[in-house]
């Protein structure tokens, strides 16, 4: 067996009590005994150890026992042991045999039962699903296509059948819980086909549909408004990629124009530098010209002084000569009465000295005046040159000012206008791009809402549990019932209406309790055989409580209340045990019943008998009595 697991041992322990233990055969095992010997307790313990939250019912023999263990062999032949407290709580998994737990060094793993997973601990459900290849399987639970993740509890009623359920009239596929039938049919279909409902999309509720329709109206209005805004931008393109291409081209053009404009500004800087050079030189020349004019003015004044001084000195010379010849009067030198015969204050030599001195002074002034005239001449020449240079500089300055102005108009202004136009166009395109993005976003949301309103586009025809799907299953069950001697010529088909078998032309629920139990057993064992044969997920075992029914002729007296159809014949009983003892490699079958085969040792069958006698054989599941 390469799917699921098989039960090896069930152990119940207590501190001061002897272990109660059953070791199971790998293929088939029967636990036989009368009522009140612990068969139901065995069933409850196994169900509890496989994830049920319902604790085993206390019986008088179970007092003093605290824990139960289930040793299982996985599909890879590794052995795990499941431990749970009989007082409730979570599951502990040891990755070893029960006998090895004492020496087991690895820390066991805790799995939560009846609670959601945490960061620290996983759920026991996830563990059971992982060892039965049922993880991440989705199951449709209603006609609207809503799905649930597969839980191990969905499988439990198909593999763990108690003595009450096994004789029920409803289909073995159903648990009888309200509104669970669609899900339970889906579970059976998934097991028979190996195909889950993971691809289904649920039909939304009317409230969701109304809500989405209201949102669609708003979205349509927004799309219309945005489209109208796009028209204002004269945007003929509605494809985002095309507008993005335009934006990219505009950005590249703006970069090129900006680069060109920067080059133009560099040219302007050159013009400004040249203009400044001419301006500074011009003003320097003008400043020099002002200085020269001031100097010429002063030299003119100095020349006038020189001319006056010469005139004065010449006058003095003339006066001195004239006074020398005078006979009377005042002396021009000492201002005394002039008398040639008696003039002691000054003499003619002084007059001569004055004339000589005047002549020297006149020569000196004349020399200075020559230097002055030379300087004046040089300054006038420089002034002429400055005037010419200033005119030239002024002309060059004005020329470059004009060239700069013309260049600015022709290149800077036009380029700036072009740049502004591109930038304005870019802003429009970018705004249009945003609007297109919003329209696309709204359009996607619109599609999403349309899908939510009708995700399957009106096609809500889901895979059902049809006669074609159950054909192989029916054939397997038919062969089982034939082997067991259910009827002379057993024929089995499937009713889609009742999700149950039709046996020999009659609905299964019309049979008596005994035959309903037998057909329920065939349902569970046949399902396991079909799944394992096709490699589909399954637990790999079934546990049946009283499949041959307690109402057997051997154990009851004739009673008018008991009908013949409620009782399974001895021949059918013997055929049943012989059949299940031959299921090598077809999964594990565990039977709990009141009556076993007449010669169990002749069969390849695990066999445990409870005698209900403390002095003979094994009394029951518990081999000693610990009650008060």
Q: pLDDT by residue (tens digit) across 470-504? A: 999 999 999 999 999 998 889 999 999 999 999 99
Residue 359: partners with Cβ closer than 8 Å, 6 or more residues away: 313, 317
Res 324: pLDDT: 62
Residues of the chain by 3-state class (helix, strand, coil), percent to 5: 50, 15, 35
Return the higher-pLDDT residue of 557 and 135: 135
Give residue 125's pLDDT band: very low, low, confident or very high (50, 70, 90). very high
State mean pLDDT over 53-75: 94
Amino acid 556: pLDDT: 46
The model's pTM:
0.65
Average of per-residue pLDDT across 132-159: 90
Query: In this structure, are strands 91-94 and 109-112 parallel, antiparallel, or unpaired?
Result: antiparallel
Q: What is the pLDDT of residue 560?
A: 47
pLDDT tens digits along 228-270: 887 777 655 556 677 778 778 888 888 888 887 788 788 888 8
Mean pLDDT, residues 504-522 taken together:
93
Express each pLDDT in 569-606 by its tens digit.
889 999 999 999 998 889 999 999 999 999 999 999 99
Residue 555: the pLDDT is: 43
* 522 in Cβ contact with 158 (< 8 Å): no
Residue 115 CA, distance from chain mean position: 27
Cα–Cα distance, 25 to 617 (Å, whole number): 19
What pLDDT, on a 0 to 100 scale, did the predictor assign at position 155? 95
pLDDT tens readout for residues 3-33: 899 999 999 999 989 999 999 999 999 999 9
- Selection from 215-224, 460-469, 569-578 with the highest mean pLDDT: 569-578
Identify the H or E element spanning 257. Answer: helix 240-324
Looking at residue 337, its pLDDT comes to 62
Lowest average pLDDT, out of 132-136, 174-178, 443-447, 543-547, goes to: 443-447
pLDDT number for residue 35 = 87
Q: What is the mean pLDDT of the chain?
A: 86
Is the pLDDT reported for residue 404 higher than 90?
no
Q: Name the residue with higher pLDDT: 153 or 421.
A: 153
């Amino acid at each position: 067996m390469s799917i699921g697991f098989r039960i090896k041992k069930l152990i119940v322990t207590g501190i001061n009590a002897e272990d109660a233990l059953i070791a199971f055969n790998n293929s088939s095992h029967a636990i036989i005994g009368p009522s009140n010997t612990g068969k139901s307790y065995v069933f409850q313990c196994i169900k509890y150890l496989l994830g049920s939250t319902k604790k085993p019912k206390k019986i008088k023999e179970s007092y003093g026992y605290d824990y139960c263990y289930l040793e299982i062999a996985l599909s890879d032949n590794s052995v795990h042991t499941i431990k749970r407290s009989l007082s409730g709580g979570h599951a502990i998994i040891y990755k070893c045999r029960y006998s090895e737990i004492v020496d087991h060094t690895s820390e066991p793993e805790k799995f939560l039962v009846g609670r959601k997973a945490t960061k620290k601990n996983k759920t026991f459900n996830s563990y059971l699903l992982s060892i039965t290849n049922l993880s991440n399987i989705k199951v449709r639970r209603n006609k609207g296509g809503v799905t649930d993740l597969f839980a191990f509890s969905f499988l439990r009623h198909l593999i763990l059948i108690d003595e009450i359920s096994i004789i029920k009239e409803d289909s073995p596929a159903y648990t009888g819980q309200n509104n669970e039938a669609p899900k339970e049919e889906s579970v059976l279909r998934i097991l028979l086909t190996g195909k889950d409902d993971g691809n289904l999309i649920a039909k939304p509720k009317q409230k969701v549909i109304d809500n989405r329709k209201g949102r669609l109206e708003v979205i349509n209005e927004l799309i219309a408004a945005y489209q109208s805004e796009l028209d204002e931008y004269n945007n003929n393109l509605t494809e985002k990629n095309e507008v993005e291409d335009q934006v990219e081209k505009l950005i590249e053009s703006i970069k090129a124009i900006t680069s060109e404009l920067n080059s133009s500004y560099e040219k302007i800087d050159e013009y400004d530098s040249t203009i400044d050079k001419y301006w500074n030189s011009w003003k320097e020349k003008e400043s020099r010209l002002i200085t020269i004019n001031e100097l010429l003015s002063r030299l003119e004044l100095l020349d006038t002084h020189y001319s006056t001084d010469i005139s004065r000195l010449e006058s003095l010379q003339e006066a001195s000569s004239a006074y020398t010849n005078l006979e009377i009067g005042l002396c021009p030198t000492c201002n005394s009465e002039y008398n040639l015969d008696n003039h002691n204050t000054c003499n003619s030599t002084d007059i001569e000295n004055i004339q000589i001195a005047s002549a020297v002074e006149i020569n000196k002034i004349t020399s200075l005046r020559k230097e002055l005239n030379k300087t004046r001449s040089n300054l006038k020449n420089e002034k002429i040159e400055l005037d010419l240079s200033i005119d030239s500089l002024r002309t060059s300055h004005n020329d470059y000012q004009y060239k700069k102005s013309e260049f600015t108009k022709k290149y800077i202004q036009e380029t700036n206008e072009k740049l502004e136009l591109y930038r304005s166009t870019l802003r429009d395109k970018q705004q249009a791009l945003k609007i297109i993005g919003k329209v696309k976003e709204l359009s996607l949301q619109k599609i999403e809402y349309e899908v939510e309103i009708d995700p399957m586009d009106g096609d809500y025809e889901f895979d059902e549990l049809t006669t074609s799907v159950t054909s192989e299953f029916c054939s397997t069950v038919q062969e089982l019932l034939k082997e067991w001697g259910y009827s002379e010529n057993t024929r089995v088909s499937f009713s889609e209406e009742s999700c149950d078998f039709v046996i020999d032309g009659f609905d299964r629920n019309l049979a008596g309790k005994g035959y309903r139990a037998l057909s329920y057993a065939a349902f569970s064992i046949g399902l396991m055989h079909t799944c394992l044969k096709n490699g589909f997920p399954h637990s790999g075992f079934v546990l049946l409580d009283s499949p041959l029914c307690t109402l057997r002729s051997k154990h009851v007296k004739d009673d008018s209340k008991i009908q013949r159809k409620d009782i399974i014949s001895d021949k059918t009983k013997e055929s049943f045990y012989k059949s299940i003892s031959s299921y090598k490699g077809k999964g594990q079958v565990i039977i709990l019943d009141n009556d076993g085969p007449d010669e169990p040792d002749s069969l390849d069958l695990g066999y445990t008998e409870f005698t209900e006698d403390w002095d003979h054989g094994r009394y029951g599941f518990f081999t000693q009595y610990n009650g008060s």
